[in-house]
Homo-oligomer: A and B are copies of this chain.
Amino acid sequence: MTSPHPVSTLDLALERERSAQPLYQQLYQRIRDAILAGRLPPGTRLPATRVLAADLAVSRGTVDQAYSQLLAEGFLLSRAAAGTVVNPALDPKRFGQHRPLHPAASPGAAAGSATSSMPLPFQLGLPALDAFPRKLWTRLAGQRARSLSQVALSYPSPVGYLPLRQAIAHHLALFRGIDCSVEQVFVTSGFQGGLGLAMQTLLRTGDAVWMEDPGYFRARKALQLNGATLHPVPVDQHGLRVEDGIRRCPDAKLVYCTPSHHAPLGVTLTLPRRLELLAWAAQRGAWIVEDDYDGEFRYDGPPLPALQSLDSAERVIYVGSFSKTLFPGLRLGYLVVPPGLVERFAQAADLFAPSPSLLDQATAADFLQQGHFARHIKRMRALYAERRAALVAALETECGGRLRIDQHAVGLQLVGWLAEGEDDQAIAARLWAQGLAGQMLSTFCLNGGQPPALLFSFANVPVEQAPALARRVKAALDGL
């Protein structure tokens, strides 16, 4: 007689009623906790998907999704003959007082919370992960890995792999109207790495900084953690209220802003405001950090040129990222800095924040140079336009009376305005209880003053799922 499978002795029973999480996430969490607590020792073979699905009376897809997340995070390993096993290299004795790596889904932990898992519906900060050409990327990465030369083992240039910088400059000229030399382009560890390098180069502890209000809260937190003194500047339908900024804090050292597509309202900074901002920065010697997130995804006509393209006084530091145009796991971003700052940024990059692994940079350079990038963006723009239209239509059909959808034709998210006095927090909590990652606008606010609203990303919402998801939003609005 064989002893019972260790998994069968665990309490994997999933909550179907009033559940806080989708089934696959519950299963993921239970297996993960069992591994961390030592109840599933390293090397333990897990039941086949089919078997566990039958045991738990769930679909095979549910088990597949849970296993695939655990595989991606390294808790499980796939072994041809032995099936799926608990990673033998994990030693639970060394986990110490383990805190959860993935805090339970909650409205606060959302937008861009940087942990690896299957995207939740409406989750902000992600591209359509189902639509990325993984096979093509893998082929390019494999070619690059095979040709790893002895020279390539050495330190890559701290400012970035030259052909990638060249390809970025070319892309920015075409898509964002930016005219720069390749020397002004720095390859960074994603948006965070770029912002970090800019802060470390330009700011001293206590320096005054204008922060859009509402504004991207991860940028706000980064600036705060870096010791900046934040001065919230309100945003209206024309974008950042530059006049208010000048009145409140005329001698700011730096401005963080999202001119092409405000985070999260989606409004565009108008030309008069752009010129006002640039003139003030030129006069006061302030720096403008232009976060141009999602600028490639515009659905009605050509994208607006970046603020940087208007900057004749060399005040703008342009921050871009491949997290949405390629994929976030790549951790690649870029800066374009004024010619006069190239030397200082190069020194800081060399000493604090050297450009990432050559293999990824070279693979990305190949992807751009061979034309796959332009094709991918074009295809994604069409896909996002479809997904956006489907979600707008579904939300208007189901929730039209309660939710006014703002249709800014850029980016990967929608703003849904609630009536004054609606309880955004309670609604968001009910969304998250259903596994829907709708985000409160108030998370982005410093001083408040905005009516209640919710943010929804459509990037990972396939057209056919929009109506059902909109009905679940309606249920959350109705307090069900």
A163 in contact with B89 (CB, 8 Å): yes
How many protomers of this protein does the assembly include?
2
A414 to B303 Cα, complex, angstroms: 58
A331 in contact with B357 (CB, 8 Å): yes
Task: Tell me if A221 counts as interface (CB < 8 A to partner B).
Answer: yes
Q: Which residues of B contact A331 (CB under 8 A)?
A: 156, 354-358
Whether A96 contacts B183 in the complex (CB less than 8 A), given A329-B156, A331-B356, comes out as: yes
A130 in contact with B145 (CB, 8 Å): no
B183 in contact with A91 (CB, 8 Å): no
Q: Which residues of B contact A222 (CB under 8 A)?
A: 351-352
Out of B115, B180, B359, which one reaches A359, CB within 8 Å? B359
Cβ < 8 Å to B, chain A residues 139-167: 141-142, 145-158, 161-164, 166-167
Q: Which of A145, A182, A369 is packed against the most chain B CB atoms within 10 Å?
A: A145
Closest-CB distance, A49 to chain B (whole angstroms): 15
A353 in contact with B354 (CB, 8 Å): no
Task: Tell me if A423 counts as interface (CB < 8 A to partner B).
Answer: no
Task: Tell me if A169 counts as interface (CB < 8 A to partner B).
Answer: yes
A164 to B183 Cα, complex, angstroms: 34
Q: Which residues of B contact A162 (CB under 8 A)?
A: 73-75, 90, 101
A125 to B196 Cα, complex, angstroms: 26
B183 in contact with A99 (CB, 8 Å): yes
Whether A151 contacts B69 in the complex (CB less than 8 A), given A74-B162, A353-B189, comes out as: yes
Q: Which residues of B contact A218 (CB under 8 A)?
A: 350-351
A357 in contact with B357 (CB, 8 Å): yes
Task: Tell me if A330 counts as interface (CB < 8 A to partner B).
Answer: yes
B154 in contact with A129 (CB, 8 Å): yes
Task: Tell me if A435 counts as interface (CB < 8 A to partner B).
Answer: no
Cβ < 8 Å to B, chain A residues 163-184: 163-164, 166-167, 169-170, 173, 180-184
A116 in contact with B200 (CB, 8 Å): no
Closest-CB distance, A416 to chain B (whole angstroms): 24
Closest-CB distance, A100 to chain B (whole angstroms): 11
Contact count band on A: 35 or more
A150 in contact with B182 (CB, 8 Å): no
Q: Which of A155, A199, A332, A348 is packed against the most chain B CB atoms within 10 Å?
A: A155
Task: Tell me if A52 counts as interface (CB < 8 A to partner B).
Answer: no
Cβ < 8 Å to B, chain A residues 60-107: 68-69, 71-75, 78, 87-91, 94-99, 101
Q: Which residues of B contact A134 (CB under 8 A)?
A: 148, 150, 153
A151 to B28 Cα, complex, angstroms: 13
Whether A354 contacts B181 in the complex (CB less than 8 A), given A73-B162, A74-B163, comes out as: no
Task: Tell me if A396 counts as interface (CB < 8 A to partner B).
Answer: no
A141 to B138 Cα, complex, angstroms: 10
Whether A225 contacts B89 in the complex (CB less than 8 A), given A126-B154, A142-B145, A156-B116, comes out as: no
A-B contact pairs, 28 of them (CB 8 A): A71-B149, A71-B151, A73-B161, A74-B162, A78-B147, A89-B365, A89-B369, A90-B162, A91-B170, A94-B169, A94-B173, A101-B162, A114-B156, A114-B354, A115-B155, A117-B154, A129-B150, A138-B145, A138-B146, A189-B353, A192-B352, A204-B205, A205-B205, A221-B347, A226-B352, A329-B357, A329-B358, A359-B360
19 other contacts beyond A90-B163, A205-B206, A218-B351, with CB at 8 A cut-off?
A68-B151, A73-B157, A74-B365, A99-B183, A114-B156, A114-B354, A126-B154, A129-B151, A141-B359, A142-B142, A142-B146, A154-B329, A155-B329, A156-B329, A196-B353, A200-B200, A205-B227, A225-B352, A332-B357
Chain A positions near chain B (C-beta within 8 angstroms): 68-69, 71-75, 78, 87-91, 94-99, 101, 112, 114-119, 125-126, 129-130, 132, 134, 137-138, 141-142, 145-158, 161-164, 166-167, 169-170, 173, 180-184, 189-190, 192-193, 195-196, 199-200, 204-206, 218, 221-222, 225-227, 323, 327-332, 339, 347-348, 350-360, 362, 365, 368-369
